[in-house]
Amino acid sequence: MTGPTVAALLAEGRRVLGAVGGGAVDARTLLADALGVPRGRLTLIAADPVPPAAVARFRAALARRAAREPVARILGRRGFWGREFAVTPDVLDPRPETETLVALALERPFARVLDLGTGSGCILVSLLAERPKARGVGTDVSDAALAVAARNAEAMGVADRAELLCADWFEGVPGRFDLIVSNPPYIAADEMAGLMPEVRDHEPHAALTPGGDGLGAYRAIAAGLDARLHPGGRVLLEIGPTQAAAVSDLLRAGGLGDIGVHLDLDGRDRVVSAAKPE
């Protein structure tokens, strides 16, 4: 007796994940992972029976996804800026929206970059991978997160140019930088309950919210920028879609100019940029 075919398991996945957004895509991703094949190959092998061990792996993954665990958590990796990054429960799942910040950072040259609250290291590592002569520092208050960042830096071949520090924002960070970037916690405390279960129940809360009005991290960052930016240096901060005006005001009060608000691919405010006067 042969096992279920690829096509049958995909249909099963669609049924199981019917109430989960993106269920059909997730089913294909999880089955491809269980089989150890590229997702695009599933169509070519649709009529093939699936070995029992792969069936078991797929159904276990389906059950986790049906319980609203994110696909990246199940797989232990996430695609970002054309690369695969390791992710664990200790770090935020890198989002496509954050690629907006990376694209803006790469519009101008930089020799030394600081990533505040680096998490998985996806921003810092992506920037260093794209700029082979640049060096960078990534900070985080979580040693577990820094271990993930170190793993990603090593995998992408930039570990010799990335210094990772356990630090609260600028604490103990040496020198000045041409570019400072951050995707800090910005969700207000009273917004946490309304988040999707994939985020609320599976992301580290310290990386989601600073408590209060959600602006605490921006206040801390804005207060330290003048001492850490070279004249003419830039800062790029990811924001929540309603925070552009408040974050712009904080940067302006910190003495920065050339302030801009940049949209993500969905047309929402996503990044605030500013520069230290020459």
Condensed to tens digits (0 to 9), the pLDDT of residues 140-180 reads 999 999 999 999 999 999 999 999 999 999 998 989 999 99
Q: At what angle do helices 23-35 and 52-66 cross, to 10 degrees?
A: 150
The three-state secondary structure class of 228 is helix
State pLDDT tens for residues 22-61. Answer: 789 999 999 999 999 999 999 999 999 999 999 999 999 9
Nearest to 61 by CA among 11, 26, 20, 88: 26
Percentage of the chain lying above the pLDDT 90 cut: 85
Percentage of the chain lying above the pLDDT 70 cut: 100
User: What was the pLDDT predicted at 259?
Assistant: 98
**Averaged pLDDT for residues 97-115:** 97
CA distances from 228 to 116, 122, 271, 273 (A): 12, 22, 20, 16
User: What was the pLDDT predicted at 208?
Assistant: 85
Residue 199: is its pLDDT beyond 80? yes
In sequence order, the 6+-apart residues with CB closer than 8 A to the CB of 159 are 150, 153
Global pTM?
Answer: 0.92
CATH topology of domain 77-275: Rossmann fold (3.40.50)
Kindly report the average pLDDT of the chain as a whole number: 94
Residue 77: is its pLDDT beyond 90? yes
